[in-house]
Amino acid sequence: MAIKDGIRQGFRHIDTSWFFHNERDVGQALREAYDEGLVTRDDLFIVYKVWPKNSNFKRTQNVIKQTLKELNTTYLDFVSIQWPLRNNTDIYRALEWAYDQRMARSIGVSNFKPTEITELMTMATVKPAINHIRIHPGLNQDETIEWCHREGIAVAGWSPLGTGSLITDPTLVAIGQKYNKTSAQVMIRWQIQRGLIVVPKSTKLSRIVENSDVFDFELREEDMSAIHDMPQIALIEFWG
């Protein structure tokens, strides 16, 4: 299974969500990984994202409790609201409850703009630890990244390879050839050097291995700038 393959390659960040419907499969894979001695629970950073549509404080509490059972754990390392909706405050209160109950070691948001985080913080008592947003070459997200870092909020990027659409991009391929690396490795490295948490996704062992082999080189400033200056696309927002 991809999860155990990733663990064997050194990956420790496990991403789950109601929208993915992967909690039981992940929980089973983790039980097997523990039994085989591949890792212990303390080695992992398990993330869960709450789907906000039709949710509220009580439902979110119940979802978190059920997720803990399915993942075979007593706590989550990070829990977030997956998308901003009108009920942000009510759901975030439930995340703060999980934090207070030590069911979540940290809480935060996903796909939030600075204005939405600012509004949330007028009612919240726990500052978001992470904002998990879509970032890849062509979608730099400079304004949100800079704002979050100023506020002491870490930024994690999802879809760091542009859902695979950028693998053949000439600029990225050419830069990769300079370092004897693939375009995917270049994209991941570009985001690491921006001070971001990078969350690549793959179910194929060869690509899992490739995605982890990014710590033996560093992009030069001119290459960082060339990637940053790639034509930008519009950010498409999905509200669920």
DSSP annotation of 237: -
Domain that holds residue 101: 2-228
Burial of 203 per CB tally in 10 Å (0-12, 13-18, 19+): exposed
* pTM check: above 0.75: yes
237 part of a folded domain: no
At residue 235, the pLDDT reads 67
Rg (CA), the chain: 18
CATH number at residue 173: 3.20.20.100
Average pLDDT over residues 36-49: 96
203 part of a folded domain: yes
240 part of a folded domain: no
Burial of 150 per CB tally in 10 Å (0-12, 13-18, 19+): exposed
How many structural domains compose the chain?
Answer: 1
CB 153 within 8 A of CB 110: no
Q: Concatenate the DSSP letters of all residues of 125-153 into one string.
A: SS--SEEEEE-BTTB--HHHHHHHHHTT-
Average pLDDT over residues 116-142: 96
The span from the CA of 178 to the CA of 180, in Å, is 6
Average pLDDT over residues 19-46: 92
**Amino acid letter, residue 162:** G
At residue 239, the pLDDT reads 45
pLDDT tens digits along 166-199? 999 999 999 999 999 999 999 999 999 999 999 8
Q: What are the distances in angstroms from CA 226 to CA 84, 170, 175, 194, 222? A: 32, 12, 9, 14, 6
Question: Residue 150 phi/psi, 5° resolution?
Answer: -65, -35
pLDDT tens digits along 55-100? 899 999 999 999 999 999 999 999 999 999 988 999 999 999 999 9
Least confident interval from 8-12, 118-122, 169-173: 8-12
Average pLDDT of the chain to the nearest whole number: 92
Average pLDDT over residues 222-235: 92
Say yes or no to pLDDT of 135 above 90. yes
The span from the CA of 156 to the CA of 142, in Å, is 13
The H-assigned helical ranges of the chain are: 2-8, 23-35, 57-70, 88-100, 114-121, 142-150, 170-179, 183-192, 205-212, 221-228
Say yes or no to pLDDT of 238 above 70. no
At residue 222, the pLDDT reads 98
At residue 233, the pLDDT reads 83
Least confident interval from 53-62, 101-110, 178-187, 206-215: 206-215
234 part of a folded domain: no
